[in-house]
Amino acid sequence: MSHPRSALRRPEAGLALALAFAAAAAVFVAVFLLGRTNTPDYTATLFGRSDADAMRLKAQLATGVLGLAALQLLLAVWMYGRLPGVRRVPGSVPITHRIVGVVLFALTVPITVHCVRAYGVQLTGSRAAVHSIAGCFFYGAFAAKLLLVQSRRLPGWALPLAGGSLVVVVVLLWYTSALWHFNGSSIPVLSLGRHHLPPGQM
- Taking only the tens of pLDDT, the chain with its 202 residues reads 444 444 335 667 788 899 999 999 999 999 999 999 999 999 999 999 989 999 999 999 999 999 999 999 999 999 988 888 888 889 999 999 999 999 999 999 999 999 999 999 999 889 999 999 999 999 999 999 998 888 777 788 888 899 999 999 999 999 999 999 999 988 887 654 443 344 445 5
Indicate whether 100 belongs to any domain: yes
DSSP symbol at 91: T
Indicate whether 21 belongs to any domain: yes
For residue 149, give Cα distances in angstroms to 13, 83, 91, 134, 166: 12, 21, 17, 22, 14
Rounded to whole angstroms, the Cα distance separating 144 from 141 reads: 5
Indicate whether 147 belongs to any domain: yes
Phi, psi (degrees; rounded to nearest 5) at 58: -60, -40
Rounded to whole angstroms, the Cα distance separating 179 from 185 reads: 8
The predicted structure's pLDDT at residue 9: 52
The predicted structure's pLDDT at residue 42: 92
> 66 and 119 in contact (C-beta within 8 Å)?
no
Rg of the Cα trace of the chain?
19
Rounded to whole angstroms, the Cα distance separating 108 from 125 reads: 23
Helices (H), 50-177: 51-79, 92-118, 126-148, 158-175
Indicate whether 202 belongs to any domain: no
Indicate whether 63 belongs to any domain: yes
The predicted structure's pLDDT at residue 181: 93
Indicate whether 201 belongs to any domain: no
Indicate the SS3 state at residue 46.
strand
Query: In which domain, by residue range, is 62 found?
Result: 4-196
> 79 and 30 in contact (C-beta within 8 Å)?
no
Cα–chain-centroid distance for residue 198?
Answer: 24
Rounded to whole angstroms, the Cα distance separating 191 from 1 reads: 57
The predicted structure's pLDDT at residue 199: 42
Indicate whether 87 belongs to any domain: yes
Number of domains in the chain: 1
Indicate whether 79 belongs to any domain: yes
